[in-house]
Each structure stands twice: as structure tokens, then as C-alpha cells.
Amino acid sequence: MRYKILFLIFIAVWGVMIVRLYQVSIKSNYYYLELAKENIESKHYIKPIRGEIIDISGKLLAMNRIGFSISIKPRLKNTGEELNQVINNLVKTFPDLNKTIMQNVYKKFNSPYNHKYIKVVDFVQYADMMRAYPILSLNEDISIEAETRRYYPYGKYVSHIVGYTGKSNAQENEKDPKVNEIGVVGKSGLEGYYNEVLQGELGSIITKVTATNQELEILEHNKPLENQNIVLSLDMDLQMMIFDRLKGFSGVVIVMRTDGEIVAAVSTPTYDPNMFVGGISHKDWIKLQEDPEHPFTNRLIHGTYPPGSTIKMGVAIANALSPNGNVYGNEYCSGAITIGKSSHRFRCWKKHGHGGVDLRKSIRESCDVFYYNKSLEMGIDHMAKSLKSIGLGVKTGVDLPKEYEGIIPDQKWKMKRFKQQWYQGETVIAAIGQGYDAVTPMQLARYTALLATGNLIKPHFAKVINGKHADPVIKKLKLDENLMKTIRLGMHDVCNTPRGTAYAHLRNLPILVAGKTGTSQVVTIPQSVVNRAEENDMEYWQRSHALLTTYAPFDNPKYIVTTLIEHGGHGGGTNGPIVADIYKWMHSKGYFAQENNSSLKADANSAAAPAP
């Protein structure tokens, strides 16, 4: 027994020795081999030049300015005279530099094991460096390297589309090794969405060095993959025209082709993205954050609003898809309805009602009662499912980061959100785009394209990505043609017949337009209020949002123009003049085929005469 114990101890000791021998002689060999290699080889990464973002006519929306960075030789004593002399010399040469920041950066990265120069100044403009370069380049303690910095020539006009770049943070560096080396990453907009394309691929130079890090020869040189540009479908002339037209308003305008190419997209108020490139000041950041109009919010995809009456065509489609629906059945509008034994009156916007109403008239005159009754025929769950299937309350897939879904509610959603059951009264409110309903302007533009063409498309800004054309994504939905024809006639009437809610401003355009207005209430109107206050008489923050979404030409839809003005009141009165000016400008610039618009309009009006 004693011999067995001794034998086991002997085996255990030799086992430990063999394992240790393996680690020292074999496994550790790889480690020391790499360590030795690092002592004789130095790898230096070459940053690629970031690709540019260009509009459809070649205007640069995001470009690179040439400049230089400044680095200081490592292993200088942090508190020594040598380091202070170098930094004082830099401050004397460039008075805007901060001595304390440079010292802190140097101290953070300096160590006996660091052989790389420490960057203390990220960017000095080309003109400024050219005056100082002959002297600074003679100082062995200083390294000057070419750098580029992002610049946005059109600044505020496209800030919510193009976005901006900034210094990468620890999380971004850990996620992408390339970002860690480059030190700059797209933070928002197209800069963020297409960062992988725009930033390119790192190059590298491997050199043989001495123990003191002196270069002996270049062993390998790999050029970076750079200048990967993106061309947009955006027309900057139209973009600027719309931006200037919206002066004084907070809201959104989207102009999009019916295949999904976005020609213009304005979100106001806005900001200058150039503030972020070199690092925004605390003062400017607080100013942006505390602005009650929220200029930093991209309303195109992050603004969610009740769609108001613009949802009504979608509710009609949902009703037609329901086994209990009767979308062609006429309704009588007396100005309000009640549900069951409740005395609560769900009112139409028109106090005394619209009388007899069919589908076409319900769109033309925006009758609420018609849609109250149709929603009760099908129920909230079916209505919500159908509305999502045509693009409301779901992401559009537009090429902008962190797009919001919005809300098209159903029973399950309310139970999950509020732990409460659903009521029929909430169904009728949802049917006119109020209550819990919340969609983005981008969703509304996509939905309008569906109404115009029957196609569910994917909106997109990028037309050419690194030399490759972006193919449109178009899905044809199986919708009843007679139903869609009636809906389109109703939308025609909205803009072109005296009873239409947008007739006042859209009736005399050089191109025939169809559309739908919407008024999105932000405050509840008590039952005790018989006569509603005029929007202009209300406090600004209590006024309804104004919506108007359109397409043109009526007989051959090519373009969508969707507008939302926050606290603008009524879509027809507020948005109508804006939309009219956009279509006039587009027509004058050749966006629409030259045709006899007057005769076309006469023929269309004759064919689309409204029901009495």
C-alpha cells in the first residue's frame, strides 16, 4: 500500500513537470516569438481617407479637409523640462492649443514600454501648419502627420440626413478594430448608417527596427482601401428651397419618387453638424439639449405623431380585407355616434354632420363618422394588423440609423403596455388616427406611395454606393383595384373639387395632384365643449399638428410630397401653400414630363366628378 502511494506521488510530480516543460518549451515559444518579433518589427497603420457623400448633381455634402496632427516622442519625463519645452513651443506656435490638455494626454499614454509617438493635437489646418512646418519638422521630439477632418459644406440644410462624424468612444473601439485605429466614426445619419463603407480599410507599413525603435528597412507596405464614395438621390437645390420655405415652422417635408428614391427630406429646426466634428463644446451641447423645439431630433424617423385623417384610406383598405367589413356601404353622418348604452358622443369634425356618405365622399370631406362605423365592423385587432401590413407602425427600412417603429395599437399591445383591457371607444378613435396611434413622417410617405401605386417600397437616400447602383426594393401588394381606384378618386377630390379639404391651395397647379389632409390633435376636447376653438386662437403648444400627404401626377404617379407642421392647425390651410410651392418649383425644373396639363386636368376632373 505504501509503495502504491509513493508511486502515485511520483507520477503526479512527473506529470506536473511534464506539463510545465510543455508550457515553457513549446507553448510559451509562440508568445516569446511574437514578443521578439515586435522587438525587431514595427507595424504602423495607414488611415484610409473617408469617402465623400455627394448629391445627385455632384454637390459635396460631406468632404474632407486636409490638415495635420502633432505627436510627441514617447518616454520623455512627464514632469521634466524636456516635455514642457516641447509643449510650450507648440503653444507658442499655435496659441489656440490647450497646454493642460496636451500634458494630460501625453501623461495618459506615456510609459517605458511605449515606442510610438503620442498624438496630442488631432488637427491643425493646412494653412496654419504650412507657416510652422519648416521649424517644427526639425525637432526630433515632434512628429507631424497628414490628417483629414470632416467638413459639411451645406451644414444645417442636410444635418438630419448626412449626420456627422466624431471621436470614437471605448465601446465603438471595442466593437470595430478599424474604428479603434482610425479614431473617428460616423455618429448619426448616413455617416453612421454607411460607416463601414465610408471609412474604408486600413493600410499598413511593417518596418524592421532597432532596439531604440530606429527604422532600418520597410518589410511590407499595404495601401489602404479608401475614397469609397456614396452618391445620393437628393437634389440639394430642392432641399434648400424647401428648407428656406419652412422658415419659422417646426416640422417635416419629404419628397420621394414612387420607387423609394428620396429627392428631398427636411426636418426643422436643425443644427450645424460641423460643431461635432472636432468635439462639441459643453455650452453648445447644453444649448441644443435645452432647446424646447428639439433641433437635435431627426423628425423624419424619430418624430412620432398621430396621423390624423391621413390614416383613413388605410382604414378603408383594412375594412375591405375584413370578413365583416362593408367598405362600400354608405353611412349617415349626423355629426356624432354613440356606442351601446353609453352617452359619450364620438363627434365628427363637422358639427352638424355630412349627411349621406360613401367611401369617396368620406375621403374628400374627411368624414369621421364613416370611419367610426367601419372600425366597429372589423374590430381593433384586424384593423391594426392590416394597417401594419401596408406600412404603418413598422420600420420602413430607410437607410438612416435607429429608425423608430411608432405605434399602431391593438388589444395585446395595450395589455402589455398598460395592463388594461381594450375598449370599443378606443377603436373608433384609432380609426381617425388619434388616441395611441403614432407614426413617423417616413412611414406616412411610404404609405402614400402605396396608395398611389399599390407598391410597398423601401425609402432610400443612397443611389450609388462605392460605384454600385442601389436597386430599389418594391413589393406589389394584392389589393382590390376597384377599391384603390375609389380611394385615389377621393384623394383627387381632396385637392381638386370645391368640397375637398385641400382645394383652396392645390386646385390650380401645373400638374394634377391627389392627396389627403390631416389634423392631429395634441389635447383632448372635453364633451362639454360644443363649439371648438379655432386653432389660431389656441396657445401654440395646444394647437394640432397639421398634415398633408400627396402624390402627382394623378394619372401616372411619380412623386410623393408628404408634409407635417407641428402645431400648425389644419393640414389644408397650413401645409397647402407649402406643398403648392414645392410642386410649382419641381414642375419649373423639369421634374414632370412636359404635357398639356390644362387639358389633362379638364379630362381628369370630368372623369373624377365627385358624387353629390
Q: What are the residue ranges spanned by the domains of the chain?
A: 64-151, 236-289+298-607
| pLDDT score, position 114 | 79
Q: What percent of the chain has pLDDT over 90?
A: 69
Highest mean pLDDT among 105-109, 110-114, 289-293, 436-440: 436-440
| Identity of the amino acid at 150 | R
Q: Give the least confident one: 125-129, 551-555, 584-588.
A: 125-129
pLDDT at position 535 is: 60
CATH of 236-289+298-607, one of 3.30.450.90, 3.40.50.80, 2.102.10.10, 3.40.710.10: 3.40.710.10
User: Average of pLDDT values for 356-361?
Assistant: 97
> Of the given ranges (34-38, 122-126, 295-299, 474-478), which has the lowest mean pLDDT?
34-38
Q: What pLDDT is attached to residue 23?
A: 66
Q: Which region among 4-8, 108-112, 319-323, 383-387 has the lowest average model confidence (pLDDT)? A: 4-8
Closest CA to 190 of 413, 400, 6: 400
What average pLDDT does this structure show over 600-605? 45
Question: What are the residues whose beta carbons fall under 8 Å from the beta carbon of 115, sequence distance 6 or more?
Answer: 42, 74, 209, 213
State how far the Cα of 505 lies from the Cα of 573, in Å rounded to an integer. Answer: 8
Amino acid 599: pLDDT = 38
Query: CA torsion sign, 78 to 79 to 82 to 85?
Result: positive
pLDDT of residue 560: 98
400-416 average pLDDT score: 97
Answer whether 535's CB lies under 8 Å from 569's CB.
yes
Domain 64-151, architecture per CATH: 2-Layer Sandwich (3.30)
What DSSP string runs through 30-93? HHHHHHHHHHHEEEEEEPPPPPPEE-TTS-EEEEEEEEEEEEE-TT--TTSHHHHHHHHHHHHH
Please state, in angstroms and rounded to a whole number, the distance separating the CA atoms of residues 190 and 400.
Answer: 6
Cα gap 17→11, rounded to integer Å: 10
pLDDT, residue 207, reads: 84
Task: Name residue 611's amino acid.
Answer: A
pLDDT at position 537 is 57
3-state class of 206 per DSSP? strand
pLDDT per residue as tens digits for the range 166-195: 989 999 999 999 999 998 999 999 999 999
Which is more confidently placed, 77 or 213?
77
**pLDDT digits over 502-547, tens only?**
999 999 999 999 999 999 876 665 555 555 556 665 676 778 899 9
Q: What pLDDT shows up at residue 217?
A: 81
Cell 518616454 belongs to residue? 75
Residue 281 pLDDT greater than 70, yes or no: yes
Flag whether pLDDT at 598 surpasses 90.
Answer: no
What is the C-alpha separation between 67 and 70, in angstroms, rounded? Answer: 10
Give yes or no for residue 470 having a pLDDT over 70: yes
* Tens digit of each residue's pLDDT (9 = 90 or more) over 219-240: 888 999 999 999 999 999 999 9
Is the distance from CB of 582 to CB of 561 less than 8 angstroms? yes
Mean pLDDT of all residues in 432-458: 98
pLDDT at 607 over 50: no
The pLDDT mean for the chain works out to 89
| pLDDT tens per residue, range 19-40 | 776 666 665 666 555 545 555 7
Quick one: average pLDDT of 307-335?
A: 96
532 vs 111, which has greater pLDDT?
111
Q: pLDDT for 126-146, tens place per residue?
A: 999 998 999 898 898 999 988
